[in-house]
Amino acid sequence: RFYCLLGLTPINPIEKVQEILKEIHGQAHIVVLLSHLGYNADLDLANEVNGIDLILGSHTHTLLPQGVRVGDTLICQAGKFGDYIGKVEIRYNHTKEIEEMVATCIP
């Protein structure tokens, strides 16, 4: 309702991300989604959308010290107010397939 008062039309983030992933299919080896939807919406995206490797989330200021794995997707948030810096190391093989993703939060 708030967005409509501003003249904006809310969209379904799951449908929009699925649409974008179809458009970019084959153009990226690793898909990173920057999200300001909040942790619960990030969980929904990870559960409902195939093809997202990493979600860097915010809005809810959730501290996920090692991230949370949902299927093949790693969700990360580094808390609030700059208390932590989030770091994600992605290791991949010669064919650009992800072998490991490790998330940490540095105080």
Where are the domains positioned within the chain? 2-106
Helices 13-24 & 39-48 angle (0-180, nearest 10):
50
CA angle 58, 61, 63 (to 5 degrees): 105
Give pLDDT tens digits along the chain (107 positions): 677 888 888 899 999 999 999 999 999 999 999 999 999 999 999 999 999 999 999 999 999 999 999 999 999 999 999 999 999 999 999 999 999 999 999 99
The model carries a pTM of 0.92
Q: What is the CATH number of domain 2-106?
A: 3.60.21.10
